[in-house]
Structure 1
């Protein structure tokens, strides 16, 4: 076999988990499960500042990170949602909303 050549040129098929990664994840899960009570005790013994730091680090694995969204992107997204809502709303509701918006605009321009 030449350098850079492999016995499996196609590699691992999609969706087939890496055996080592699976074993490692399983082992880590067992360690965590087996030390949960001790971890909670240790956590309670930490200074409040340190406890908050540990909890912040753990939250990264539970709470999804928020992505920054530009103002323009946010407005575009809200516009699309409002447009969908208006298209599905009864005409009477849309007319009442339009009247209310016009009234508010008139009041706003009077100031």
Structure 2
């Protein structure tokens, strides 16, 4: 069966939201290594083939960008949009695009 979400077999364990010490320590060590060797990494990057550069860059981005999670569509937005006219929908789209440009 397993435990319900948020439940644990160790009630005295790490509280939610408190960072993992091992992860934090490892992240600091990796960052220090990269800082100390940045020039070497940059020179080696220049020597890579284009496909390997892309692979390296893509993997590096995964550490710098937040991971996107899937979202469940509940249909609420769709039902709100169903009652709008084509003109209202076009106005809404224009407004959203203007917001994105700012």
Q: TM-score, normalised by structure 2?
A: 0.51
* Runs (4+) off by over 6 Å: none
Larger radius of gyration: 1
Matched residue, 1:104? none
Which of residues 22, 25, 28 is equivalent to 1:23? 25
Which of residues 53, 56, 73 is equivalent to 1:54? 56
Q: Cα distance 1:21–1:43, how it changes in 2: closer, same or farther (>3 A)?
A: same
Q: Which runs of 5+ in 1 are unaligned?
A: 1-7, 84-93, 99-111
Shift of 1:42: 0.5
Partners of 2:40 and 2:50 in 1: how far apart?
18
Matched residue, 2:97? none
Over the residues paired in the alignment, what is the CA RMSD in angstroms?
3.8
Which of residues 36, 39, 55 is equivalent to 1:37? 39
Shift of 1:40: 0.8
Q: TM-score, normalised by structure 1?
A: 0.48
